[in-house]
Chain A
Amino acid sequence: MAQLFHRRFGFLFRLGLIGAALAATTGVLLWRASMAYPAGVNDPIEQPVPFSHKHHVGDDGIRCRYCHSSVEKSAFAGIPPISTCMTCHSQLYTDQPVLAPVVEAFRGGASLRWKRLNKLPDFVYFNHSIHVAKGIGCASCHGQIDTMPLTARTAPLTMQWCLDCHRHPEQNLRPADRVFDLHWKAANQSALGARLLKAYHIDTARLTDCSVCHR
């Protein structure tokens, strides 16, 4: 009776098995890779007004807290009301088309609708004020924002990323007067960090409690 299978069948079958195994592994790896770093890191989104931190902070040297006024008081750093923009722009570039939406809003039109860059899931309770108070610089999470013509998210904001710092805060601690300095670098971070850890009375055991971020 004739052969049931082609004589190469066995070989091909093994090949197929190996191929399937490989496919599965790569599939999983790809999925992990895609999840590992949520999209949108370092790519600016288009905003209703092409606001440039580079220009305002880098060139004009406006302080962070001038606009993000509640960063030291509240969980929410604060998005400046249109009136804040108008403190200058009632005089400067008032007629520039790019500024039209701002002026319009101030005149009673639609308030701006900024696209949110740094958004955490609703079950995560991040608090700006405590981080600032304990010597975490703006730059640690938001990068050299004064070099960004258009603002982009610089941190993945994954739990892993949060934990890296909550486990070893000393790596990112700064002196209180350097918190808003976007280009400050410690000469010897490890030594400084260790010292600041004590100075700020940071309870590292507690930093990794679930209850610190989840309620």
Chain B
Amino acid sequence: MPPLKSGQSFDPAAARAELSGQSGPVLWRSLEELADNEAFRQWLRQEQPRLAEVLGLDRRQFLRTLGAALALAGVTACGRPPQNEIIPYVHAPVGQVDGLPRFFATALTRNGYAHGVLVENHMGRPTKIEGNPRHPASLGATDIFAQAAILQLWDPDRSQTVRHRGVISSWDDFAAALLDLTAQSGRNGGAGMHVLTGEVTSPTLTAQLDALLQKFPAARWHLHEPLDSGNSRAGARMAFGAPLSTRLHLDRARVILSLDDDFLCDPAAGVRHARDFAATRAPEKAGGGMSRLYVLESTPSITGAVADHRLPLESARIEAFSRALARRLGVLEDQADSINESAWLDAIVSDLQANHGHSLITVGRSQPAWMHAAAHAMNAALGNSGAVIEYSDPVERVPEEGASLAQLVNAIRAGSVDLLVMLDVNPAYDAPADLEFRAALKQVPHVVHLGLYVDESAELSEWHLPQAHALETWSDARAFDGTVTIGQPLIAPLYDGRSACEVMALLMGAEVQKGHDLVRRQWRAKLADEPAWVAALQAGLIADSAIAVRSASVRPDLKSLLAPPKSGGAPPQGGGALSQGGGAPPESSGAPPQKGRAPSQSSSASQGGLELLFRGDPTIEDGRWSNNAWLQELPKPLTQLTWDNAVLISPSLAAERHLSNGELVELRLQGRSLRGPVWITPGQAARSVTIHLGYGRRRSGQVGTGQGFDAYALRSSSGPWRSAGLQILATGERYELAGTQQHFQMEGRDVLRVGTLADFQTNPRFATAHDRYPDKPPSLYPDYPPGEYAWGLSIDLNACIGCKACTIACQAENNIPTVGRDQVRRGREMHWIRVDRYYEGHQDNPHTYSQPVPCMMCEHAPCELVCPVDATVHDSEGLNVQIYNRCVGTRFCSNNCPYKVRRFNFLQYVQSSSDTLLAQRNPEVTVRRRGVMEKCTYCIQRIEAAHIEADKQDRRIGDGEVLTACQAVCPTQAIVFGDLSDGRSQVAQAKASARHYVMLGELNTRPRTSYLARVRNPNPSLEQG
């Protein structure tokens, strides 16, 4: 691969984009001279027209290109040194040392909530994202989406130009057109002007929205978030009379009951929850201070997988159960309608009451508002409020009551919408089917759409505006606790994009237009002086900007609100309260008859009726990530499927209907139908069928378009999370799903070791109790002489929640290619660290275990022995290194690896087609080519970097100075890496744990990677049940 040369390598679209564009915001103010140097631009036009086009007037792309030319990692090309050039800066950027990466703090948002990150920047190219240790929602870790964001930034399919009715246009033209439109509607107070956004926490944007609604009183702001938390908002209103935000302190909980709440994947605070939860799971703690987690859920989730007790129940029956629970905890008074899970109820209730003030009941966003309200009441009754669960004024801003998508559609139907501005939303794809939004959208005279991609909504819009990526713009956002992070750009917009704030400014015809100025102005008060502003940027957050916790008391009349449904319906008041949910989809904001189904559903479910559940896809969420190859190929945490969604059904249903994996079925619901492949999911509630949203995109990009089936086609605004009365019809056709794991039983092989807390307390060394050689087996061969360091890695299976962040972080760090659905089907995925999943017990409700498997770095490595060319060898610090440029590809090493962690480039997987993707690569890691074996290296590039720094200063590498990519990203800190020869190092101490064991120890491979056994903390009274 030739080094990225001076920008000739950008596609025409980008070029056109840049022609019409003006310079992006300033990141390095130190560089301004260069930018403002008119002569420089002159030359670009004369000497290098093509280059000039590409660079536009923006210097940082020029620098980025130079950076690439200097530092871009290449493909293994042997022989004599190629002739190429060094292009020096005209003025070197201040603070940059050529060849050394720099880190900048910023924030990425999920459902509007900020996740603090540090972005690694190589000579102007953002290449990797890490968590920001100082940020409350991150604490140094990230979720899979933050990792994938870097690929999204460089995605060549991103929208690159302003489009007017599909024809390339310019911002100036748009501004002009907008002026007329706003002028018209301005006259009558903005009537007919509607703005549609996702969930918003950004102070700047909310301020702008307020200003807009002030300037144009008749304008309306609507909220549309396909996977919104309207139910919980409505629940809070119901319970407290005010839309309070809840804040969980899982680290203070001893007993947790999750009612269909996947809190470990919560879009706002999932990462933090994981860290706090893991803190309560260490059995070593004195007195076995281990929390106990009960999960009731319909479809397997990560949270369910780590539960000590998991009860699969149809969504409707969970509601019935909660009713009974609320009754038992005295929150609800009505005549008991019986439930079958009384044993569970007794156990849970006694456990909750036994831990008064240290327990927690959480409710999933897919459950109706009344359950959230009831949960607040129950937590109050259990004395958890203020301790384990806290409340604050709302963190996110929602429009006034009922300004949901449904209301927008009504308005359109009424012909009262003249100008619709859609900011970073894609309702033409992800609106509930019954709204027929696409049809409605065509009735709107003027539609403006701002988005990262030219998507379904862009197609139907008069104006499409390319959105600048979060790493390209100035912005701000609040974390789950209200802490504000100023988002700063890492690079000038690659294409002609702008941020939502900038478009809002345009909409209002404000004099301030630039993102930087908008955000700066917003914080003029709090961050008055420059040092404060810079400090906030460097820290990645504004100090003590969190929203204060306040006491909240459940309104006394809640009981009557939650009073038993007359004629088996949900309380109308409940519905009423819900309708104030703001942006809550009409199930929660709505029609009592629908709510009324709850009990009847439960009965119908038990009688054999099927319910259909809608969930966000584990890796591409509501579809916004569908063009991200890393996320597409990341095995879904519980099914291990890639590149597709599937119809998840329970084993019992499969048996009843004689369905097998991959069989295409037709789903019929309320007169609509859909075809998809079946995936039999152990632990799925018997009568529940789950489909994941986000697939079946009609217009996404090279990667995402046309993958899987579109679950929105069955989603209705009356039942956005679940609908009863589903019919399944077998079609007899088949579809081959691409999974990375074929076999989920452990076959009695103790690769993954589990015990109960009781086992642990009787014998802490239970994990190795049955090993023939609990320590090292004897060997005929001498050990390698000890090196300066002895690198080792330990994985705590008790902390691991199987979220797969490690897999994707590794992919980002080590330039690991994606191979596509077909190659995954053939078993050729390239992930260096995989997360295996095993089931134990009965398939209707098995225990589910996750096990990350990187290279074991064996001291007696079977792979080294069989390589004829010495391409995989031991280094003096105990690493088993793979030398790509020496590898001829016999593949014997892979055959001989008992852990099967080696990956082979069967074909040319690394795509050099897109130069922007090229620029994403980590220059410190060789890009592997066809015919070469590769595998986990313990991030040797990071080890070497630290080594060189330490050696220069003539000191030892400190403990924790080297973090592997998987370790750094791990939300629960399950992975620990370090020097084993130093007894005080974290990893040495982890390995000293009684739960320590090595995989396949009997083979005497002496792995440097080892595990800490998992410990469950079951409730004795339920263990047999």
Contact = CB atoms under 8 A, between A and B. Distances in A.
Contacts of A106: 90
A209 B91 contact: no
A185 interface: no
Given A74-B99, A121-B74, 18 more contacts: A70-B99, A78-B97, A78-B99, A111-B90, A112-B88, A114-B86, A114-B87, A119-B83, A121-B885, A129-B948, A130-B948, A201-B954, A203-B787, A205-B787, A210-B881, A211-B881, A215-B926, A215-B944
11 contacts: A35-B79, A76-B98, A78-B99, A110-B47, A121-B79, A133-B951, A205-B787, A210-B873, A211-B879, A214-B884, A215-B926
Contacts of B39: 107-109
A19 B80 CA distance: 31
B263 to A, nearest CB: 39
Interface string B883-898: 1111000000000000
Interface in B869-884: 873, 875-877, 879, 881, 883-884
Interface in B918-947: 924-927, 937, 940-941, 944
Given A111-B87, A134-B951, A211-B940, A70 B82 contact: no
A50 interface: no
B1 interface: yes
B881 A123 contact: no
B778 interface: no
B81 A83 contact: no
Interface string B67-84: 000110111111111111
B875 A209 contact: yes
Nearest to A158: B80
A215 B941 contact: yes
B43 A109 contact: yes
Contact of B99 (A35, A76, A110, A211): A76
A115 B83 contact: yes
Contact of A81 (B89, B787, B873, B875): B89
Contact of B85 (A73, A80, A113, A127): A113
Interface of B: 1, 37-43, 47-48, 70-71, 73-92, 97-100, 785, 787-788, 873, 875-877, 879, 881, 883-886, 924-927, 937, 940-941, 944, 948, 951-952, 954
A110 B43 contact: yes
Contact of A122 (B1, B91, B873, B944): B1
Nearest to A113: B85
A214 B90 contact: no
B43 A210 contact: no
A215 B937 CA distance: 8
A121 B77 contact: yes
Interface in A80-121: 80-84, 104-116, 118-121
A206 B875 contact: yes
B98 A70 contact: yes
A73 B100 contact: yes
Contact of A212 (B74, B80, B944): B944
Most A CB contacts (10 A, CB to CB) among B75, B873, B879, B883 go to B883
A81 B90 contact: yes
A123 B876 contact: no
Contacts of B885: 121, 123, 214
Contacts of A61: none
Contact of B81 (A38, A114, A129, A214): A38
A49 to B, nearest CB: 11
A39 interface: yes
A169 to B, nearest CB: 13
B97 A73 contact: yes
A79 interface: yes
B85 A115 contact: yes
Nearest to B785: A205
Given A108-B38, A111-B88, A215 B940 contact: yes
A157 interface: yes
A-side binding surface: helix, strand, loop or mixed? Answer: loop
Given A81-B92, A83-B91, A201-B954, A215 B877 contact: no
Contacts of A134: 951
Contacts of A20: none
B74 A113 contact: no
Given A74-B99, A108-B42, A133-B951, A123 B91 contact: no
B845 to A, nearest CB: 46
Nearest to A207: B876
B48 A110 contact: yes
B881 A116 contact: no
A122 B71 CA distance: 10
A82 B92 CA distance: 9
A184 interface: no
A38 B77 CA distance: 14
Contacts of B43: 104, 108-110
A203 B876 contact: yes
A116 B98 contact: no
A116 to B, nearest CB: 5
A129 B953 CA distance: 11
A125 interface: yes
A75 B947 CA distance: 13
Contact of A215 (B77, B81, B91, B925): B925
A121 B76 contact: yes
Given A206-B876, A211-B875, A116 B86 contact: yes
A104 B42 CA distance: 12
A107 B90 CA distance: 9
Most B CB contacts (10 A, CB to CB) among A74, A80, A115, A201 go to A74
Given A74-B98, A125-B944, A215 B788 contact: no
A110 B74 CA distance: 26
Interface in A114-154: 114-116, 118-123, 125, 127, 129-130, 133-134
B97 A70 contact: yes
A196 to B, nearest CB: 13
A142 to B, nearest CB: 15
Nearest to B71: A76
Contacts of B941: 125, 215
Given A38-B80, A121-B76, A122-B1, A81 B88 contact: yes
A122 B76 contact: yes
Contacts of A74: 97-100
A123 B926 contact: yes
B84 A82 contact: no
Contacts of A80: 88
A21 B447 CA distance: 81
B77 A127 contact: no
Interface string A33-50: 001001110000000000
Contacts of B926: 122-123, 214-215
Contacts of A111: 87-90
B90 A114 contact: no
A39 B944 contact: no
A122 B77 contact: yes
B561 to A, nearest CB: 63
A82 B886 CA distance: 40
A147 B89 CA distance: 27
A119 B90 contact: no
Contacts of B86: 79, 113-114, 116
Contacts of B78: 121
A212 B945 CA distance: 10
B289 to A, nearest CB: 42
6 pairs of A and B residues whose beta carbons are closest in the complex: A122-B74, A108-B39, A76-B99, A108-B40, A209-B875, A119-B81
Nearest to B100: A74
A82 B951 contact: no
Contacts of A200: 954
A157 B42 CA distance: 40
A125 to B, nearest CB: 7
Contacts of A78: 97-99
A162 to B, nearest CB: 13
Contacts of B886: 210, 214
Contacts of B937: 211, 215
Nearest to A108: B39
